[in-house]
A and B are shown apart, each in its own frame.
Chain A
Amino acid sequence: MESSYEQGDEILTKKNETWKLVDPPPGKKPVGCRWIYTMKYKIDGTIECFKARLVAKGYTQTYGIDYTEIFTPVAKINTIRVLLSLAANLDWPLQQFDVKNAFLYEELSEEVYINLPPGCMIPTKLSQKVCRLKKSLYGLKQSPRAWFGRFTKSMIAFGYHRSN
C-alpha cells in the first residue's frame, strides 16, 4: 500500500523552510506538537491515501508572549449566497481551487519555538534542540490570520481590490 506523507515531506525536506533547529532559548517555552494521521477514502470506500500532518498544540500558547492578534476575516455565508445567485442568474461558471497546506506559507512575525516532532530521527547531540518556526504551522493560534494576510498580499499584488 502506498502512503503519501505530503505535509511531512514538505516540512522535513525543508522544501518550505518551515523551521530552523536552534538551542532552546532561555525563558521561552517551546510549544508542543504532535502528528495527526488521517486516512482519506475514495467514494467507493477504498483507501485513497494516508495523510500525516504535524500540528502545534496551540492551546498551550500564551497571549502576549507567543501571539497577539489572532482574529481573521472569513467569508460571510450571505456573501457566498449572493455570488451563487449571480452565477445562477447570469449562468456563470463556478470553479473551486484548493491551496495545499495553506497554513504553511506565511512567515511568522512572532518568535515561536516548538519541540522536535515525535519520532524525529536525529543524532543524539542534536536532540536537545528545539525548532524555531519561520513559517506558521497548523494548530498555532496565529496561523489562520497569517494565512489570510499572505493570501491578501498575493491578491492585491495581482491587482484585485478588497470589498468592504
Chain B
Amino acid sequence: MVVIGNDPEERKALQNYLSKEFEMKDLGDLKYFHGIEVSRSNKGILLSQRKYVLDLLQETGMLACQSAETPVEEGLKLCVKSNQVPIDKGRYQGLVSRLMYLAYTRPNLAYTLSIVS
C-alpha cells in the first residue's frame, strides 16, 4: 500500500491505526511496487520497469537480441494469409498484455501495441 500526503502526523496516526488492525510492515520510502522501480531526486520522481523488462526478455529468450530504435515498420500487417492458423493464442495474448503494462513507462510502445493487439 502506498501512502501519499503532506501531513506527517496524520500519516503516523494512520500507520498506528492500521498496525493495530493488521500485522503490518513499514517498507519506508516507496522504492518498488507492481514491477515498477521508483527513485526520487530533487527534480522529481523517476519510474522505471527495468527489472520487469529484463525478466520479460529472459523469459522470451531475447536477452541477446539487438535493440532497434524503430521496432516495427509503418503500416505493418500481421497475418497476411487469410487461412493462417494462429499458434498458441494464450501465449501471444499474454505477451501483448505484458507489453501493454510496459507501455506505462514506455509510451513509445503505443504504436507497436496498436499493431500487435
Contact = CB atoms under 8 A, between A and B. Distances in A.
Q: Which of under 10, 10 to 19, 20 to 34, or 35 or more describes the interface residues of B?
A: 20 to 34
Nearest to A85: B45
B6 A96 contact: no
A97 B15 CA distance: 8
B44 A94 contact: no
B33 A96 contact: yes
A83 to B, nearest CB: 5
Interface string A81-93: 1011011101011
Q: Which of under 10, 10 to 19, 20 to 34, or 35 or more describes the interface residues of A?
A: 20 to 34
Contacts of A154: 17-18, 21-22
Interface of A: 77, 80-81, 83-84, 86-88, 90, 92-102, 105, 154, 158
Given A94-B45, A99-B24, 16 more contacts: A80-B2, A81-B104, A84-B45, A92-B5, A92-B6, A93-B8, A93-B11, A95-B30, A96-B1, A97-B15, A99-B18, A99-B22, A99-B25, A100-B22, A101-B23, A154-B22
User: Which 3 residue pairs are nearest across A and B when measured between Cβ atoms?
Assistant: A94-B30, A96-B27, A88-B45
Interface of B: 1-6, 8, 11, 14-15, 17-18, 21-31, 33, 38, 40, 44-45, 47, 104
